[in-house]
Each structure stands twice: as structure tokens, then as C-alpha cells.
Amino acid sequence: MRNLKISFIVIVLLTFFIHVEKMEAASGQTYEVGANILHVREDPASDATIIGLLHKGDRLTVFQEQYGWVQTYYGGSTAWVAKHHLIQASPEVPAANPEQTATPAKTTEAAANSVTVTAPSVNIRSGPTLEYAVIAGASQGETFNTISKSGDWINVELNNGNTGWIASWLTSSSGASTASSSEQATETATTQVASVNTDKEPTSANRSLSGFNIVLDAGHGGRDPGAIGLGGVYEKELVHQTTNQIAQTLRNYGATVIETRTSDYYLSLDERADLSNAYNTDAFISIHYNSFPVVSVQGFNTFYYTEAGHQLGRHVHSSISSAVPLANRGIGQAGYKVLRNTNAPAILLELGFITSPYDLSVIQTADYQQTVADAIAKGLLNYFH
């Protein structure tokens, strides 16, 4: 009888705690994505299947937490994201639908049914100010269905079903809307490169990367450090720095850049290829640094797998070889899994040896990484145009 009473009490207590947990989960908390790109996964694990992406500034409602992962809704189903990439949002700002780009709370004014781009090349952003990330590009004459308007910015529907924001003063519906000269320069600067060398700047809209989707794959990450070079330099860290510089430079040229990882976490080779294949990717570039037990071995390589990758590699490798002070080790075919499994034209760059004293002294500098970024951009321009 005593055991029966104890069992009854335990059941009551468990029911109470379960009820409390559900009540807390039902209340929900709103968070904002702090990373440039955040993977949405089926389960709370870094090796779980990626089912979608969120971008910096997107908002979501969290229902429960488990081992550093939080549950939300994505595409009408439950999904999980890593909590360390989230920032708790102010309670008065409503959460956006995770299926769409983040939508500000003050977006109340209705926009026209459609707008047409009047500038040669413009940015499409994740929110209605210049501070939001560029998520796509548009060229003169392109027309978009409008959803809403916030100040001088119009929320439009993109061809892939997502939404984005475009400056109204660069469209046919700008009317009396005006913008400062700095704003106009920024939004029409998709054909410019942030570089001290003016000869590295495109001179016309047809020399931009607007309309092209480029996937940048920063090799290794998380529990996979990659090669370890002289002085304990981790390949994954140097790769991350370089990829960030390349991404910013390509965005300055107007490209839509998707990064497989934006901080130090692990992704399998299949996940990297799957991410690229989920987009209408025009070029996939995997960034690496090399190593070898003999310190005299130095230089950079470019690898491809398919003929399409070969054509892409020829242009990018040629551009890099004419710009960097490292030995040219050539371009070759290799069966790397990330190249084999990627549908788009794909290349893998080995940008120098972290086990070479000379190479390491060069590749750790900001000048080298910017030079590589500019060279890749030029190579892509030559490839696409």
C-alpha cells in the first residue's frame, strides 16, 4: 500500500513538471539571427539534415531548448537551429515567418502591384535599410511583384519565392521619393569593388556579378581543424578569414554569396554539397590552405572534377596567378567528394602552404587575402562574361 502511495505521488509530480514545461514552451520567445547564414535542421544535432536557411536579421519564435539547440517552425513543420547564433529580440517586435525574409514591425504602407528596376544594377536586401545584408541583385528592366512598403523601401517577391527589399528610388515607382547621394551610390554600387586600386573596379553594369549565385565553402571547421601549420596555425581559422574577405568582395561586385559556414562549426562534405545543390548555384568555390612535411614545398593550386569546373578553374586560376607572389603549382583534376557531389561548376583552391615559412608569411596578411579576393572576382567576371 505504501509503495502504491509513493507511485501515485511520483506520477502526480511528473505530470506537474511536464505540464509546466509545456506551458513554458507554449509562451515562446522571439530571437533574431545573428549569423550571416544559419542552417535550419530536422533534429537538434550538427550532423542532422539541413532543411533550409535563415539570414542575419530574420526573426523566429522558439518553443523549447535542447542541448544548445532551439526548436522553431520552418515551412509549417518543427525544426531546430543552434542557439548560439541567435540574439534575444525585443518583446515588442513581432517575429517574422521563418519561411520569409525578416519583415520589420512598422511595415504598414501598401505598395504598388509591381515595380521595375530603372538603374543598371541594384542590390536586393534582407530588410528596408542599407544596413541589411545583400541577398540578391537585379538588373535594369527586371520587374517584381510588390508586397508592402516601408519608407523608401519596397518589399518584393523574388523569382525563387523568397522576399527582399529594394530601394524605391531605383525603380519605376519611386515617384517623389528621394534619397541622399550616398544612398544612391551604395545601392547602385554593385559594379564597384572596395579596393584602393581603381583599375580593379568594373566600369560598366555588364562587368558586374549581379544575378549570379556564388557558393563559398570555407573548408574544415569545428572539430575538424584541417591542416596545422608552423606555429600551430589552424587551417580552418585562416580559411575562415580569407573566405569572409572573398565573400565581401564578391558582394561588392553584386554577386549573391552563400557561405557554407560563417563561423567555427563542423559541416560534413555532403552537407556542403547539399547546400550548394539547394540553390540555383552558378559557381561553387571551396577555400583551403595546403600542408606538407617538407617546408620547402610552397605555392598554390586549383582543382576541378568536371569539364564545367575546368572552365571555371582556368579563369580563376589564371587571375590568381597573375596577382599573388606565390609559386604557381598549376591546375589539375581531382576527385574530391565536395567537387564530385556538387551540381554546379565547382573548384577547390589551395591558396598556399601553411607549412612553408615563406608562404605563411604572405598568406596571413590582409593584403594577400584581399588580393586573392579581387583575383577571384576578376576570374569570375571573365568566366561569366
Look at residue 356 and tell me whether its pLDDT is greater than 90: yes
**pLDDT category of residue 319 using cuts at 50, 70 and 90:** very high
Look at residue 108 and tell me whether its pLDDT is greater than 70: no
Mean pLDDT computed over every residue of the chain? 77
- Lowest-pLDDT range of 134-148, 169-183, 253-267: 169-183
Give pLDDT tens digits for 44-58. Answer: 887 777 777 777 778
Look at residue 345 and tell me whether its pLDDT is greater than 70: yes
Q: What whole-number percentage of the chain has pLDDT above 90?
A: 43
What is the pLDDT, as a whole number, of residue 185?
A: 40
**End-to-end C-alpha distance for the chain, whole angstroms:** 85
User: What's the rounded mean pLDDT across residues 278-298?
Assistant: 94
Give pLDDT tens digits for 68-107. Answer: 788 887 665 678 888 877 887 765 444 444 433 333 333 3
User: What's the rounded mean pLDDT across residues 284-298?
Assistant: 95
Q: Distance between CA 371 and CA 94 in Å, rounded?
A: 43
**pLDDT category of residue 5 using cuts at 50, 70 and 90:** low
350 part of the active site: yes
What is the pLDDT, as a whole number, of residue 203?
A: 35
- Lowest-pLDDT range of 5-9, 36-40, 117-121, 198-202: 198-202
Look at residue 163 and tell me whether its pLDDT is greater than 80: yes
Cα–Cα nearest to 205, from 313, 123, 320 = 123
C-alpha distance from residue 240 to each of 58, 85, 346, 371 (Å): 23, 16, 19, 16
Burial 129-161 (b: 16+ CB within 10 A, else e): eeebbbbbbbbeebebebbbbbebbbbbebeee
Give pLDDT tens digits for 357-369. Answer: 999 999 999 999 9
**pLDDT category of residue 179 using cuts at 50, 70 and 90:** very low
Give pLDDT tens digits for 231-263. Answer: 999 999 999 999 999 999 999 999 999 999 989
Q: Distance between CA 105 and CA 102 in Å, rounded?
A: 10
